[in-house]
Amino acid sequence: MDLTDRLALVTGGTRGLGLAIAGRLCSLGCEVLVNYAHDDAGAEEALEALGAAGGKASLVRADVADPDQVRAMLDDIERDRGRLDIFVHNAGIHRPAPATAISREAYDRITALVVGPLVSGAGHLARLLPAGTGRVVAVSSTGARRAVPDYAALGSAKAALESLVRYLAVELAGRGITVNAVRAGKLDKDPGSAPSGPAARVAARTPAGRLTRPGDVADVVAMLCRAEAGWIHGETITVDGGLHLMT
């Protein structure tokens, strides 16, 4: 895969899955604008890690739950760079609670962060992304399609995100801009050690024999950004080692 000379923006890109995605795109020749909201020190550490691996990246600070900041961020990219080839929306937040005890404040914040950026930025992206090669990839989770304990707020927000992906895909397909989603399985946050407790049980039920790693998801995101993926529109690809086949 080669994405040389492409310009990508990854929301929530300074840690965890977002950083893995940014790193994978960098490794394929992309220049990556790494978005973050608040943690300046953590963002600088992420930038150093990307640079040490040979990646070309820079930081973009914006709280993408705020519609005005989303639009300002994209306006700045249009003014300074003139284009954006790839938009990966990964930002999200999880506030565990049963469905009967979700606070409206928490739900609104989660929805604003998970769904809001694509709603607020859709018009700008339609203008910024090049016809024929523009790519939008949203990161979802398997909690969007099945009930996970204490995951109702984020799971329902991710389900809304997947629905929005389909609508945007229809509207932008005529210009050759693809919009797709990647549905991540339960992530292994410490691949160097054996999982325990509930994570171990999930790993044991997974046909591929382990939990999903950030790199597994990053690889599929990168695949959807390729020219060869240009005929894939409005799909949500599940990346969970086959676990969804067992439930």
List the catalytic residues: 151, 158
CB-facing half-sphere around the CA of 99: CA atoms within 13 A: 8
How remote is the C-alpha of 50 from its chain's centroid?
A: 17
Rounded to 5°, angle at Cα 102 from 97 and 107: 110
Q: Directed axis angle between helix 67-81 and helix 116-128, to 10°?
A: 20
Pair 213, 187: CB distance under 8 Å: yes
Pair 40, 64: CB distance under 8 Å: no
Look-up: residue for tokens 């606070």?
103
For residue 144, which of 20, 207, 238, 234 has the smallest C-alpha distance?
A: 238
Instruction: Give the phi and the psi of residue 151 in degrees, each rounded to 5.
Output: -120, 10
Query: Do strands 86-89 and 135-141 pair parallel, antiparallel, or not at all (unpaired)?
Result: parallel
Q: Which residues of 209-240 are buried (b: 16+ CB within 10 A; e: fewer)?
A: eebbbbebbbbbbbbbbeeebeebbbbbbbbb
End-to-end CA distance of the chain: 33
